[in-house]
Chain A
Amino acid sequence: MHHLLPLLVAVPLLGATLLVATGRLLPRPAAEITGLVVSGGTAALAVLLLLHSSPPLVEWVGGWWPVDGESVGIVVVGDGPALGMATLASLLTLAALAYSWRYFDEPPRGHAGAFPALMLVFQAAMCGFAIAGDLFNAFVFFELMSVVAYALTGSRIDEPKAVQGAMSFGVVNSLGAYALLMGLGLLYARTGELALAKIGRGLDATAGPGGPDALVLAAFVLVLTGLLVKAAAVPFHFWLPDAHAVAPTPVCMLLSGVMVELGSYGVWRVYTTVFAGPGGIPAADLTRALVTLGVLTAVVGALMCWYQRHIKRLLAYSTIAHTGLFLIGLGVLTPEGDDGIALYIVGHACVKAALFACTGALLDRFGSVDEHTLHGRARAMRAFGVMFAIGGLALAGLPPFATALGKGIAEEAVGGPLTVVFVVVSAVTGGAVLRVTARVFLGLGPRPQDAAYETSGSDEEPETGGLLSRIPDSMTAVPAVLLGAAFAAGVAPGFGGTVARSVNEAGSGGAHAAAAWTAAGILLGLLSALIALGLAGLAVTRPNWVNRVPGWAVPLRRLQSGHVGDYVAWVLFGATALGALALPGVLGG
């Protein structure tokens, strides 16, 4: 079975090559069917491998097996979390391709294969990053994933905003990737190893009596900077709203649904395999760094999410807020926290992709994604209104969606005041989506007033040939299926337990934790859903009271300046802050 692992990368890459080679000759339906078949085949393979992932599959690519423990080959590791992320990425790629079936404008003659080919390369890169067993391959797939994402973000090259968003995305993410490479160079210098598990053992073997030294700290900061830029943690997040606001909707589904989460997955993977031992970073320091950044990310994301009127940007900030919650859950370093976050990521991917799909339908029907312009105009789109409301409630954590299950388990793991952060942040992000539902699909409340310094979203180009008079069934079915999946993942008996078992097997050395609904989790989920409903109600009935940006939040808004130089400066600041947060382990050891 383990021989099939490299196919997760090879199959989509071959499919993309085929599409690039023959795309000039193929008619559009043939190119898209090829894309769907290859992507679906890879997804099926990922599911098959996932079912056999215990004990973990290991494959040395090209038959370069280690001799006497010394290896020069490339290792890919298929354990539960790795194959789980690969499956999630593959299924979401399939959903995005199905969604784009009737979505895009007729591509220019001779370029029918370009978009599906890029999506397949994206899928290959995400699968590759998930199963990479050595740090250099993780870097290569990280860069491949980034480069394809820049190209996909800027794929509507005739739109001024799209190229601008892709540019800052490209510069900030590439800088993060180079930081990751510097860190990996330092780790190689210390241990002479590239495979994740062997670097970890090498660090432990070379550790002095005083714990980690400055080199380990520098490598830790550099590697985490790269991964946190991808995960869009504050203050590394500035590229994300700009890129999400301008990317085509099927691409947004992938960017927000799984690419950003791969950054959090990378943080978890690198910490548990490389820095968790005695030669790495002490647990207390990691907890301090991740929980601090996580709380900051969650609060800033939720605040900025509430004050957006551009619906895609609103969803983008909501992804940032959830990244913050993921980092808190992973940062407390308990098996329960890991389980909760794994389930949360699955649920979040389905719900967020469904919400983006509904937004795309609005864009193609009305040529706008602006909450103010669309006020009351989408009354006739009942199915989408219902899906938007369900999506908002699921984001807020209404049981029995998988988001609520994951959130409930993570809340119990973090405990204390951090539970409040979970409840409030998920309620605010869900409330913002419900507010959009009430205004756009129901036309409730007066039309809100415009504020200064914001991106409106009223002059976006529709992505179809013209404005649609009727939404095609494929575009309705995809969000419905995704919401159904989030529901099924929450109620399917044993799903939570299976996820928890595979995560614990890979991460916390066999400490098994149960993952099931608890009374406290259900009550907290209901509470945050109620708060979300209340916030949405207040926003609609008292628009000036709730929507006027308070004075202290304006500077926060001005930070998102659209200037790539500012974003780079914030990445450097964030790296310094990360170093300062992890420093006590080096000084005190």
Chain B
Amino acid sequence: MHVLPYLVAAYVFLTGCYGLATSRNLIHAVGCLAVCQCATYILLLAVGYRDGGTAPVFSDIKPGSRPVVDPVVQALTLTDIVVGATVTALLLALVLQIARLHGTIDPDELKELRG
């Protein structure tokens, strides 16, 4: 079932998008964006996975003695997590400020910018 992780990633991404499109609460929307991002972690880790592989740490295994998973995607995922933490923190700060200034966090009630 090697297709399964990719399908899961697509499913999680679309679920997050659905949540974003229908959200009635901005905190929930920021959460949905984080869900979309989790899909990218799943995809990246699935790309680097090897059957029977172990962690790519060569302090206790001899190089070439057994398969290891791809360390590049793990580094990418880690960078991605850092990026995501920044974005989520900034967006939540904006939600706080929206709640203070508009008195609501329902996107349906934010009607100042249109047309």
Contact = CB atoms under 8 A, between A and B. Distances in A.
Interface of A: 72, 136, 140, 143-144, 146-147, 150-151, 154, 157-161, 163-167, 170-171, 174-175, 177-178, 181-182, 185-186, 188-189, 194, 241-242, 245-246, 453-455, 557-558, 560-566, 568-569, 572
Nearest to A181: B40
A559 to B, nearest CB: 10
A482 B95 CA distance: 36
Interface of B: 9, 13, 17, 20-23, 26, 29-30, 33, 36-37, 39-40, 43-44, 47, 72-73, 76, 79-80, 83, 86-87, 90-91, 94-95, 97-98, 101-102, 107-108, 110-115
Given A167-B91, A563-B107, A174 B113 contact: no
Nearest to B22: A565
B73 to A, nearest CB: 7
B115 A453 contact: yes
B21 A572 contact: yes
Contacts of A194: 72
A175 B17 CA distance: 8
A185 B43 contact: yes
Contacts of A143: 83, 86-87
Instruction: Tell which of B17, B30, B39, B110 has the most Cβ of chain A within 10 Å.
Output: B110
B114 A568 contact: no
Contact of B114 (A171, A561, A565): A561
Given A136-B76, A164-B102, A569 B97 contact: no
Given A171-B29, A185-B40, A565-B107, A160 B17 contact: no
A562 B94 contact: no
A161 B79 CA distance: 32
B98 A562 contact: no
A166 B113 CA distance: 11
A159 B30 CA distance: 21
A161 B102 CA distance: 9
B43 A182 contact: yes
A572 B13 contact: no
A183 to B, nearest CB: 10
B9 A182 contact: yes
B39 A178 contact: yes
B98 A167 contact: yes
A189 B47 contact: yes
Contacts of B39: 178, 182
Contacts of B47: 185, 188-189
Contacts of B115: 453-455, 557-558, 560
B101 A572 contact: no
A104 B114 CA distance: 26
B114 A453 contact: yes
18 contacts: A72-B72, A140-B83, A147-B86, A147-B90, A151-B90, A159-B101, A164-B112, A165-B113, A167-B94, A171-B30, A175-B33, A178-B36, A185-B44, A188-B73, A189-B47, A562-B111, A563-B107, A563-B110
A371 B40 CA distance: 45
A131 B61 CA distance: 38
Contacts of A177: 83
Contacts of A562: 110-114
A93 to B, nearest CB: 21
A175 B35 CA distance: 11
A182 B45 CA distance: 11
B18 to A, nearest CB: 9
A158 B37 CA distance: 29
A9 to B, nearest CB: 15
Nearest to A309: B115
Contacts of B102: 160, 164
> What 9 A-B pairs come out closest when comparing CB atoms?
A454-B115, A562-B113, A160-B101, A189-B47, A568-B20, A569-B21, A562-B114, A185-B43, A163-B97
A188 B108 CA distance: 39
A164 B114 CA distance: 11
Nearest to A557: B115
Contacts of B111: 562
